[in-house]
Structure 1
Amino acid sequence: MFREKINVTEFRDTPPEYQELVSRLLTIQADCEIGSAHIYGARWLLRAPTADDMYQLSRMISEEIDHFRRFNRVLKEISADGTHLLWKEDSERYLDALKVSELPTWGDVIAFSFLIDRVGKYQLEEFLDSSFLPLNETALLPVVISEEIQHIAYGQGKMMELCGDPKGRVEAQQALNRWYPLALDMFGRSSSRRCWRYLEWGLKRRTNAEARRDYIEEVNPQITAMGLEIPDETAGRKYL
């Protein structure tokens, strides 16, 4: 495994594969951040059930946009630029979970926070102690991970609240069924060759399969605690 630590100045002298992998990681992460902001804001910002929920959504949208800004600054430092991602069509986002144009129900909004933002946290944690030093700056990962944890907590709390009556539980289960397979697919193919290159270059800590398994072990007990059924882990999946 590559054990050197690379700063921005040294980056331009690294092998082309390393440069391509770093650029790809940063671009996909920036796309996920701004894509989440689009999804949260497309329909529900001013249609959320309460003023408190509207406020929380506005805060989450603002934070996702700021996360994009932070990752795009790093992209610019390596002579790349993700500004075009701001206006990218939803259908052209990198990950299928972010290709939706809007969330159909309030249950989908909070399931997205509970499940998809949690995958985002896992993705960010892969960069901890990365060989690419700008990812370890205190103004980047600690801030973004902390805010994603708050998004997850909001979604989890609201899911539990929605499950408080039979009608709400049905809505929550339907949303869970839609988003659970998309969340698992966000980790990518278990057999991905690129995943092993990320590991070899010190850019990730786990294989796709390992990260997905850790996610399942964390989220499944929480789903059960809500009184909901855990969806089939293979049904509706694209990347096994």
Structure 2
Amino acid sequence: MTIAVLDDEEVVVRTPEEFHRMPRDYQKILVSQITINTEGELSGGDDYALMFLPLAPTSEERQVCAERAAEEYDHYKIGKRVLADLGIDTTYMESQSLAERTLFADERMHSCTTWAERGIYSYIGEETAMVMLREFAESSYKPWAEAVRTIILDEKIHIAHGARVCRNLAVSEEGREQLQAALDRLWPMFVGIFGSPHTKRSKLAVRYGLRRTTNGEAIELWRQKATERVTHLGLRVPE
């Protein structure tokens, strides 16, 4: 049996048992939210291991890519455990190819071919994940909120390494040209990660305490942060 939540109530859900007593739309939004993030973490591991590591110019950079891949796979396992407690098995994802797993992201994002794209992907692109993770860390579903805090610590390092790659390239005109080309190609895909800015689902997620912002508001938060980083590198923000 599920019980309706009144409009003026603060929502707090502490156990899987309480989750199953929540309204059906709460359950669907939370499961979708965790599943998308968990799939993204698994694909992120593949990106670092299969796409960025071969591009790395030195053994040191290869090691960094390998470490980031291991962290992304660990993040996947964190989400997998949270979903398993809700009765949802994500093991099927592990036997899928990367292309089969990109239902919620532009496949072109998983086809970077330059070291500049590796830097932009992490410095600008992974900030899209950080915007959402910060919100998930305050989720009304407490097991998810607690799990996400561990992921955030690693993601800060991922973004920092992307910043280092971008700064190293930005010291030369040729490097800035490479970064600008990478930014121009990837920027529309970063924006697309947030989904439609006008969806009613994100408003309902805010109502249930599963989000703090709507899609449109989240896009603007990311855009402000990304714009500051882009201009600091001496680049132009794509239109």
TM-score (norm 2): 0.90
SS in 1 for 2:136: coil
Cα distance change of structure 1 residues 191 and 218 upon mapping to structure 2, 3 Å threshold: same
Alpha-carbon distance between aligned partners in 2 of 1:40 and 1:176, rounded to the nearest angstrom: 18
* Counterpart residue identity of residue 169, structure 2: L
Correspondent of 1:65 among 73, 81, 93: 73
SS in 2 for 1:204: coil
Q: Map of 1:1-240 to 2, 5 A cutoff? A: 1=7, 2-6=9-13, 7-92=15-100, 93-97=102-106, 100-137=109-146, 140-232=147-239
Once the two structures are superposed, residues 38-75 of structure 1 have per-residue CA deviations (whole angstroms, 9 ceiling, x without a partner) of 12222331441111111111111000000000011000
Alpha-carbon distance between aligned partners in 1 of 2:108 and 2:99, rounded to the nearest angstrom: 5
Give the superposed CA RMSD: 1.6
For structure 2, the residue ranges without an aligned partner over 5 or more in a row are 1-6
Alpha-carbon distance between aligned partners in 2 of 1:132 and 1:99, rounded to the nearest angstrom: 33
> How far did residue 177 of structure 1 move?
0.7
TM-score (norm 1): 0.90
* Counterpart residue identity of residue 50, structure 2: A
Q: % of aligned pairs identical?
A: 27
For structure 1, the residue ranges without an aligned partner over 5 or more in a row are 233-240
More helix by proportion, 1 or 2? 2
Q: Does structure 2 retain, via aligned residues, the 8 Å contact 1:42–1:101?
A: no
> How far did residue 99 of structure 1 move?
5.5
Alpha-carbon distance between aligned partners in 1 of 2:153 and 2:195, rounded to the nearest angstrom: 24
**How many pairs are equivalent?**
230
Alpha-carbon distance between aligned partners in 1 of 2:122 and 2:33, rounded to the nearest angstrom: 22
Alpha-carbon distance between aligned partners in 2 of 1:185 and 1:118, rounded to the nearest angstrom: 13
